[in-house]
Structure 1
Amino acid sequence: MTVSLSEALLGVGVAAGIVNLVGIWSSISGVTSYYPLGEKNRWFHVFWGLTHTLNGTLLGVGVLQFGTLELPSWLFAFGAAATIVGTVVVLISTFDLGMEQTQGLEGELQTNGLYRYSRNPQYVGYILTTVGYGLIVGSPFAIPLCGLYLAWWFSFPLAEEPWLRERYGADYERYLKRVPRFVGVRTVQTLLNQWDGRWAN
């Protein structure tokens, strides 16, 4: 039995994605302290090595199987729009948070910029880009790989929140009550209040 390059990439990507996901959920359940990273130890390099592996395999199957699903053009356009918007959100929120904290290293609590509207604007952006990329490439093997990434984005905050509570205490508790995990009614309310304030001035 011959394994194609696309199949090999899929297998490697799924393995990398599952290992990281198991590590994240073992941290959520309190079994390990795999994630959040906090400092540059061995888990930092394991986590980012697996992340880059999934990135590479997702890019590879996207190139090798581009357009295989023959999705309608409106889905391609939607995917392109989601990718552009998501990328902008990721870049702005990365600038707001800083590169070291984006990598998972400890720093100051960030509540300004896009973090006024969402506690996890980077993940909101990555969710958009993940969905958008999947629609753009139209690759059947990209579906499970994108699915693993989406599982990461929705799982990360569950592991991070206890860690953030421990480090930032009452400041984080107040922030948590004021700003939603991703986006929600409070996001809209904050935007509307700022809009009204600008008009009032």
Structure 2
Amino acid sequence: MDLSLPLVAFAVGFAAESVNLVGIASSALGWTKYWPPGERGWRYYTHWTLEQTFNVSLLVVTYFGWNSLGFPTPALVAGAVCFAVPFAGALLAGRGLGSEETMGLEGELRTGGWYRYSRNPQYVCYVVATVGFAVFAATPPVFALCAVYLLSWVTLPFAEEPWLREQYGEAYERYAQRVPRFVGPASVRALADRRSAADAE
């Protein structure tokens, strides 16, 4: 098998996501304003071009190296399920947020639906989905790519929060005090309250 294509795909994908991660991290530290872009400018197009480049590279590397570690079938199935279910959840959460807001553009502050349990339900879902995909792929190069991807998902909220506070002010502050960044006891309480209200009806 010619290894040149998967090696090139790995290098390109790793570089693309690493550049985005550096931009996101520098925004979280207050050094730059790379993410979120807020409008369709060079930052918007750079971020999403790099992100799609990474996604294509990840698929190529997975295709050529799938299950090189020889994981048993139950592990592969578990990985596929842990990818597919949260990925679908992320898409649903993104639909509730809106396409503009999902892509880092200005929009409305959403606090209902999935966002009453977590300020970043998409990222929570994508973190789990990324781990599931890595298990399903079962090959070291994908592990490395997914590790960078995980760092991006975890770092994104810290880059977005200063911008969200600037955009929505006190409304976001109240929301942030009530709902956890990812998930936590408040998420469980909100879900329990929701079910209690539904049962009462």
Query: 2: CA distance between counterparts of 1:78 and 1:104?
Result: 32
Task: Give the secondary structure class of the aligned counterpart of 2:81.
Answer: helix
How many angstroms does 1:139 deviate by?
1.8
Partner of 1:111: 111
Report the CA distance between 1:88 and its aligned residue. Answer: 2.1
User: What amino acid is the match of 1:71?
Assistant: F
Per-residue CA deviations over 1:57-96 (Å, capped at 9, x if unaligned) read: 1010000111111123332222122112212211211110
CA–CA separation in structure 2 for the residues paired with 1:7 and 1:77: 26
Counterparts of 1:30-179 in structure 2, within 5 Å, are 30-179=30-179
**Higher deviation after alignment, 25-34 or 59-68:** 25-34
Deviation at 1:26, TM superposition (A): 1.3
Name the counterpart of 2:9. Answer: 9
Cα separation, 2, equivalents of 1:91 and 1:27 = 25
Distance 2:76 2:179 in 1: 32
The alignment's TM-score, normalised by the length of structure 1, stands at: 0.95
- Whole-angstrom distance in 2 between the partners of 1:87 and 1:167: 28
Alpha-carbon separation, structure 2, partners of 1:8 and 1:198: 53
SS in 1 for 2:169: helix
CA distance in 1, matches of 2:88, 2:27: 30
Whether the aligned pair in 2 keeps the contact of 1:85 and 1:128 (CA below 8 Å) is: no
Inter-partner Cα distance in structure 1 for 2:14 and 2:84: 26
The structural deviation recorded for 1:3 is: 6.2
* Alpha-carbon distance, 1:196 to partner: 1.6
Give the whole-Å Cα distance in 2 for the aligned partners of 1:30 and 1:195. 40
Q: Which runs of 5+ in 2 are unaligned?
A: none
CA deviations 1:25-56 (Å, max 9, x no partner) are: 11112221111111000111111111011101
User: What is the one-letter code of the residue matched to 1:157?
Assistant: P
Task: Name the % identity.
Answer: 45
1:3 and 1:80 mapped to 2: Cα distance? 25
Amino acid at match of 1:26: S
Query: What is the one-letter code of the residue matched to 1:61?
Result: V
2: distance between equivalents of 1:198 and 1:18? 45
TM-score by length of 2: 0.95
Letter in 1 for 2:50: L
Indicate if the aligned counterparts of 1:36 and 1:160 stay in contact, CA closer than 8 A. Answer: yes
